[in-house]
A and B are shown apart, each in its own frame.
Chain A
Amino acid sequence: MHAKKVSNASALLDPAAAGWQKVERDVIDLVGMPVHVQTSRYVRTVWADKLVGKVRAVSVRAAHDGERVAFLLEWADDTQNTEFAERTFPDAAAMLFPGNGAAAIGTLGSADAAVNEWYWRADLETGENLVAHGLGTDKPANGAAIDAKGAWKDGRWSVVLSRPLKAKGADNVKLAPGKTASFGVTIWEGNNRERGDLRSYSQQWHELTLDQ
């Protein structure tokens, strides 16, 4: 897919911004993270017969203005979970970017192949910039801040994740006009008690080209 060149990407930080309607969308299929790869034996045992990854498709739009890139993720979710509540968890989503060609999306990278994660969670004021070296290893990434804003309306989440194109630090994905990068998406349905690696995700990396 393409990140459309726009005049002002900062105007797109609101998921309801009219400008997003002029950006084409791609629909990406998601699958549940398999239970057998979960790092906790408790989770593997208890979730063996439970549905993991309730959200099975996400619409993705991308735009940039040469300085900043923004993604709009939209998906259907009947239940708006905005906090840690009685036995449910806040809804969440993330854009995933492989640090190098070897990083597998299904394992969130490995010891020598990082995955950069732009993370939004419904209870947080802003986004989080994370780096993972395998399932259950994500930690804060240095050198860049992720803007994130989510809105839920009529059974649908719309979430914008955004970052300046230039970002210092080896943990951060390199994005530049005219260049192609890989990305994936992962979604947590908090009402289904999805958190950690109980989530849905795009099984493959997808290509993203930033328009000149």
Chain B
Amino acid sequence: MAKNGASATKAAIGHKAPGQVAMVFDLNKCIGCQTCSVACKTLWTRDEGTDYQWWMTVNTLPGKGCPMDWEQMGGGYRDGVPQEGKLPTRQEFGGGWDFNYDEVFYQGKGNTVHLQPVGPKPTWGPNWDEDQGAGEYPNAYYFYMPRLCNHCTRPACVEACPRGSMYKRPEDGIVLRDEDNCRGLQFCAEACPYKKIYFNYIKKVSQHCIMCFPRLEQGVAPACARQCPGRLVFVGYLNDVERPIHKLVYDYEVALPLHPEYGTEANIFYVPPMSPYRLKEDGSLDMETPRIPMEYLERLFGPRVHKAMNTLQGEMKKVRAGGKSELLDMLIVYRWHTLFEPFTRDPVEVGGPQAVKSR
């Protein structure tokens, strides 16, 4: 099994898989409700050893994120050379909190005791700095950033594993791990610049988002995308020229990878957040300056964010003037199926989430 994985790896690394599956998150529509996080959590990470794992997280930006200060932890590539990365700790991910469910729900103290974490008082969590953001009233700002494994075209994790236990599936570019061959060395977690690899301290192997591949294989979109009430997550093949992912990433260039300077060629893309204009001291609008500083967005999405924002604003202007915009229609998502095609099957049709998981 490992041998096959290792050879497949060599075939696919550094080249876009012909059928690379990708996702686009439109940050203008994310309300930070965490339904994606919980959809993933309930499907994949309920066992002991995975309690602190949140393969999908949504954090308020600007913020320290999850794991705390992950953007300062290194990893990835610079000029093609692997960069040293820090191994995030369970505490930096926020730990897995245990709650006093028994006390509140079964010991008759429902009116006297609050539901709260038991044990040491937590000092960090997967969504600790929610809605703090940055800036001063009346020009404070923040937005939400959903993050999962980027299933990179040049996955630093795959290259870092000395055992060849990780591989990129040639058919769809999903980055997977042969858990039977994983020995918990965690070089993958060090090397991943997005810090989206977790250590299962019961099974003693590393684990990460598998892009719900058992669902994809049956035409069902990943749980995080399918459950999103904001309908802001596109799923599809990157090379499918007729569908939104390809158009947003390549034609309109409004969907950008997070931190392209990490050099791993992420396959999760984001439509950057637009923001209201700043208010001047006299209460009038500063029509030149968006509240979310462009410097900040450039730090997240690289210099291409300027062009992306110009395109988005240009299209909005066009529509305000009575014109039509394929781009905005696509982002509005009049028909939800367009988000997921060809992965539009209802999970119930294939036997429900647990049936998908047990395959």
Partner of B156, one of A42, A43, A83, A139: A42
Asked if B187 contacts A87 (CB within 8 A), the reply is no
For A45, give its contact among B81, B90, B91 (CB under 8 Å): B81
Assess the B187–A196 pair: CB atoms within 8 A.
Answer: yes
Asked if B163 and A84 sit within 8 Å, CB to CB, the answer is: no
Indicate if A1 sits at the interface (CB-CB under 8 A).
no
Please tell me if the beta carbons of B159 and A41 are within 8 angstroms of each other in the complex: yes
With contacts A41-B82, A46-B82 taken as known, whether A137 is within 8 angstroms of B163 at the C-beta atoms is yes
A38 close to chain B: CB less than 8 A: yes
Q: Mark B186-197, 1 if CB is under 8 A from A, else 0.
A: 110011000000
Known pairs A84-B201, A84-B204; A42 contacts B160 (CB<8 A)? yes
Question: Known contacts A46-B84, A87-B87, A196-B185; is A39 also within 8 Å of B199 by CB?
Answer: no
- The answer to whether A136 and B163 touch across the interface, beta carbons within 8 angstroms, is yes
Whether, in the assembled complex, A197 has its beta carbon less than 8 Å from a beta carbon of chain B, the answer is yes
How long is the Cα–Cα vector from A38 to B86 in the complex, in angstroms? 19
Q: Are B91 and A86 in contact, with the CB atoms below 8 A? A: yes
A40 interfacial contact with B, CB 8 Å = yes
**Residues on B with beta carbons closer than 8 Å to the beta carbon of A38:** 162
User: B169: shortest Cβ distance to chain A, in Å?
Assistant: 20
Q: In the bound complex, how far is the Cα of B91 from the Cα of A87, in angstroms?
A: 11
- A195 in contact (CB, < 8 A): yes
Main secondary structure of the interface of A (DSSP, over half): loop
Instruction: Find chain A residues with CB under 8 A from B164 CB.
Output: 39, 136
Q: Is B184 an interface residue (CB 8 A)?
A: yes
Say yes or no: is B357 at the interface (Cβ < 8 Å to chain A).
Answer: no
Query: In the assembly, what is the distance between CA of A136 and CA of B161, in Å?
Result: 9
Complex Cα distance A82/B185, Å?
15
B166 to chain A, nearest CB (A): 11
Q: How large is the interface on B (under 10, 10 to 19, 20 to 34, 35 or more residues)?
A: 20 to 34
A42 CA to B163 CA, complexed, in Å: 12
B-contacting residues, A29-72, CB 8 Å? 38-43, 45-46
Chain A residues with CB below 8 A from B2, complex form: 139
Given A45-B81, A84-B199, A196-B185, is A39 in contact with B91 using a C-beta cutoff of 8 Å? no
Q: Looking at the complex, which one of B84, B86, B162 makes contact with A40 (CB distance below 8 Å)? A: B162
Asked if A40 contacts B161 (CB within 8 A), the reply is: yes
Instruction: Judge whether B139 is part of the interface by a CB distance below 8 angstroms.
Output: no
**C-alpha spacing A136/B164, complex, angstroms:** 8
Confirm or deny: A135 has a beta carbon within 8 angstroms of a beta carbon on chain B. yes
| In the complex, chain B residues 1-24 whose Cβ is within 8 Å of any chain A Cβ | 2
Chain B, residue nearest A137 (CB): B163
- From A41, A46, A123, A139, residue with most partner B Cβ within 10 Å: A46
Q: Which of A128-152 contact B (CB under 8 A)?
A: 135-137, 139
The interface residues of chain A lying within 8 Å CB-to-CB of B162 are 38-40, 43, 135-136, 196-197
Please measure, in the bound complex, the distance between the C-alpha atom of A19 and the C-alpha atom of B49, giving whole angstroms. 40
Is A42's CB under 8 angstroms from B201's CB? no
Distance, CA A41 to CA B82, complexed state (A): 7
Which residues from chain B contact A123 at a C-beta distance below 8 Å?
Answer: 204
Whether the Cβ atoms of B89 and A86 lie closer than 8 Å is yes
Q: Is the CB of A196 within 8 A of B204?
A: no
Report the separation of the CA atoms of residues A136 and B132 in the bound assembly, to the nearest whole angstrom.
45
Residues of B within 8 A of A195 (CB): 183-186
B contact residues around A139 at 8 Å (CB): 2, 181
Q: How far is the CB of A38 from chain B (nearest CB, A)?
A: 6
- Return A4 CB to nearest CB of chain B, in Å: 34
What are 16 of the A-B contact pairs (CB < 8 Å)? A40-B161, A41-B159, A43-B160, A46-B82, A46-B84, A46-B190, A83-B201, A87-B86, A123-B204, A135-B162, A136-B163, A139-B2, A139-B181, A195-B185, A195-B186, A196-B187
20 other A-B residue contacts (CB within 8 Å) besides A84-B201, A137-B163, A196-B185: A38-B162, A39-B162, A39-B163, A40-B160, A40-B162, A42-B160, A43-B162, A43-B187, A83-B201, A84-B184, A86-B91, A87-B87, A87-B89, A123-B204, A136-B162, A139-B2, A195-B183, A195-B185, A196-B162, A196-B183
Closest 8 CB pairs of A and B: A42-B160, A40-B162, A42-B82, A46-B84, A136-B162, A39-B162, A136-B163, A86-B89
